[in-house]
Structure 1
Amino acid sequence: MKYRRLGSTDLNVSVIGIGTWQFGGEWGREYTQDEADAILDKGRELGINLIDTAECYGDHLSESLIGSYIGRRNREDWILATKFGHHFHERFSRTDVFDAKGVVAQLDASLKALQTDYIDLYQFHSGPDAAFDNDELWETLNKQVEAGKIRFLGTSIGSNDNLHQTDASTKVNSRAIQVVYNRLDRAPEERVFPSCERQDLGVLARVPLASGYLSGKYKPGAVFGSTDVRHRHDAENTRQKLEEVERIQREEVPQGVDMASWALAWCLKNPVVTAVIPGCKDPAQVEANARAAELV
């Protein structure tokens, strides 16, 4: 495994992280504690130390699975990143909660679910600019940093070209940007990444496998079940993406190299990117993701 400093923080994160949206049940299956433990154990075995989750991945369900695991392990082995801003109601249904009082309540609920006294990276989660431009929110969050509940603040931008929130990072003491970035979606390279470089912000690339399309497992015409979030994607757009994936696999991926590993390494070869945070359904996928570090 390889490690990089996350922006101007003192966090040295593995270049491959573990994304855990799937633990919330919106990727076509439910997870038991044993299954979550196996995924996280495999990550630790391979040198992964970064876990990314959110309060709205199943109403703190993902956090609770992680917390139960962390509670039986060494907390210091892990860098925990979670997010705030959305209250989960049922699968694919959320409402925004970005007011200062509501966010503190979310923070306390996340700390309880994660069974920890502090969160390493607490991220504003894909909220609108109007919610971001709330001085009271950031003043309250920075007080939580001073109180030791949060080590560092971050911003997970909803639009991968949200320059407004990225440019304001230094002002609000946000040290990292989480953004959609992959071989099919390179928009951050134009404006967001240069701003991150100017401010020495860490960059976490989410959806680095383009919702699994860059795994190379799916062909044009693939159909996803109603419990899988990809069922909600536009069918024609999905078909076009999968046709492009076939072209990339044919023309860009070296012979004998696993496409998913190649796609993750492709993101990491951009020096602005600190780490990728792919999801994984089982320990075998964690192992496949980790192999990407060998290609960087």
Structure 2
Amino acid sequence: MHYRKLGKTGFNVSEISLGTWQVGGKWGDPFSHETADSILNKAVDSGINFIDTADVYGDGESEKAVGRLVRSRSERVYVATKCGRQLQPHVNEAYQPEAIRKFVEASLRNMQLETLDLIQLHCPPTEVYYRPEIFEVFDRLKDEGKILNLGVSVEKVEEGLKALTFSNVTTIQLIFNMFRQRPTELLFREAKRHDVGLIVRVPLASGLLTGKFSPQTTFSPDDHRQFNRDGAAFDKGETFAGVDYETGLAAVEELKKVFPDQPNLAPIALRWVLMFDEVSCVIPGASKPSQLESNLNAAELPALSGEQMDAVRSIYEQRIKPLVHNLW
């Protein structure tokens, strides 16, 4: 495993880390602590030392599993969680300093930890990024020893750029993959200039970039890849990176021609993300240990060639960019 600096947190984190949205089962299935424990422990055994969760994953069960892992291991495991999505309705006006404080304290109870290594605003409405009082409450929480660092999880490049104006923001979590390349134009450069770490989520475009899906692939009714394709439940950019399913399948077929010897494109897609030095870590999820093993393979792949990088860029420019580039 290779490690990179996570911005001004000073943490050296595994470049392949773990996101826990679907830990414990495939999206839509009941949360399984047995499966979660298996995946989490295998991750640490493999050198992963950064785990991202959220209070809404499994209605707090993911946080409980992550906390149990950290308390049971001797290795230093950095924990990042997120808050805000429990607000109902999830609107700008609902974001208040006291509500944020309660969410942080609830996460500490869920994980039975005294301090959170990183707390992130969980894709709040864009207006929240223009409210200094929301960012100031995290300074108070840090003074009290409840958090070490503040980060933001964003939907849009605009939100990431605005977050950089707050000096206490240490990380930005964003969607970045072969189908979502806009962040390289400005956000990457500005994050590096501010020494803010970049945490990449949805690196496989909800599985599209594994190359294993087809027009016949079906998803359960409770799987966001079925019910959220048009953004019915949350930002549609979180599902297949906002790319129309059929369009994505066609683009994947083109990618397979660029990497003809790869039966599974997932490690290639992750290695592509890691080609960008501004990225601190990538946090693919796993609903079973075998998926974790596939993700870990990316860390040992050789760098992609200039020709391969150009080919991926060309596929994006021709098939994807006109449809999604300016949306996020």
- Structure 2 counterpart of 1:151, from 134, 137, 148: 148
> C-alpha separation between the residues in 2 aligned to 1:254 and 1:153?
42
Contact 2:150-2:168 at 8 Å conserved across structures:
yes
> C-alpha separation between the residues in 1 aligned to 2:130 and 2:167?
9
Alpha-carbon deviation of 1:202? 0.5
Look up the SS of the partner of 1:247 in the other structure.
helix
Alpha-carbon deviation of 1:171? 2.4
Alpha-carbon deviation of 1:221? 4.2
Q: Do residues 201 (structure 1) and 214 (structure 2) align? A: no
> C-alpha separation between the residues in 2 aligned to 1:13 and 1:170?
24
> C-alpha separation between the residues in 1 aligned to 2:9 and 2:284?
22
Q: Deviations over 1:220-270 (max 9, x none)?
A: 34321101110021499111111111111122x252463100100100011
> C-alpha separation between the residues in 2 aligned to 1:170 and 1:8?
14
> C-alpha separation between the residues in 2 aligned to 1:35 and 1:48?
17
Show the counterpart of 1:3. Answer: 3
Amino acid of the structure 2 residue aligned with 1:283: P
> C-alpha separation between the residues in 2 aligned to 1:190 and 1:260?
24
Contact 2:119-2:147 at 8 Å conserved across structures:
yes
Show the counterpart of 1:272. Answer: 278
Alpha-carbon deviation of 1:26? 7.5
- Structure 2 counterpart of 1:217, from 208, 212, 217: 212
Write the mapping of 1:228-243 to structure 2, written as runs, cut at 5 A. 228-231=223-226, 232-234=228-230, 237-243=244-250
Q: Deviations over 1:20-60 (max 9, x none)?
A: 11148771322321111100111011100111011121322
- Structure 2 counterpart of 1:255, from 257, 261, 271: 261
Mean alpha-carbon deviation: is it higher for 145-154 or for 207-216? Answer: 145-154
> C-alpha separation between the residues in 2 aligned to 1:150 and 1:18?
20
How many pairs align?
A: 288
Show the counterpart of 1:99. Answer: 96
Mean alpha-carbon deviation: is it higher for 94-103 or for 278-287? Answer: 94-103
Q: Deviations over 1:55-98 (max 9, x none)?
A: 12132221122223333333x52110111111178xxxx73552
> C-alpha separation between the residues in 2 aligned to 1:145 and 1:12?
20
Q: Do residues 72 (structure 1) and 72 (structure 2) align? A: yes
Show the counterpart of 2:233. Answer: none
Q: Do residues 17 (structure 1) and 23 (structure 2) align? A: no
Look up the SS of the partner of 2:38 in the other structure.
helix
Mean alpha-carbon deviation: is it higher for 107-116 or for 218-227? Answer: 218-227
Look up the SS of the partner of 2:249 in the other structure.
helix
Distance verdict in 2 for CA 1:208–1:45, change over 3 Å = same
Write the mapping of 1:17-96 to structure 2, written as runs, cut at 5 A. 17-23=17-23, 27-74=27-74, 77-87=76-86, 95-96=90-91
Show the counterpart of 1:129. Answer: 126
Consecutive unaligned residues of structure 2, counting only runs of 5 or more, are 231-239, 304-328
Amino acid of the structure 2 residue aligned with 1:238: Y
Amino acid of the structure 2 residue aligned with 1:41: N
Contact 1:70-1:115 at 8 Å conserved across structures:
no
Amino acid of the structure 1 residue aligned with 2:83: F
Contact 2:19-2:51 at 8 Å conserved across structures:
yes
Alpha-carbon deviation of 1:129? 2.8
Amino acid of the structure 2 residue aligned with 1:292: A
> C-alpha separation between the residues in 2 aligned to 1:117 and 1:204?
24
Contact 1:18-1:279 at 8 Å conserved across structures:
yes
Percent identical: 38
Show the counterpart of 1:185. Answer: 180
Alpha-carbon deviation of 1:195? 1.4
Consecutive unaligned residues of structure 1, counting only runs of 5 or more, are none
Q: Deviations over 1:172-219 (max 9, x none)?
A: 410111100001111111121121122111101100000111111101
Amino acid of the structure 2 residue aligned with 1:22: Q
> C-alpha separation between the residues in 2 aligned to 1:111 and 1:48?
22
> C-alpha separation between the residues in 2 aligned to 1:129 and 1:2?
34
Distance verdict in 2 for CA 1:125–1:254, change over 3 Å = same
Amino acid of the structure 1 residue aligned with 2:143: E
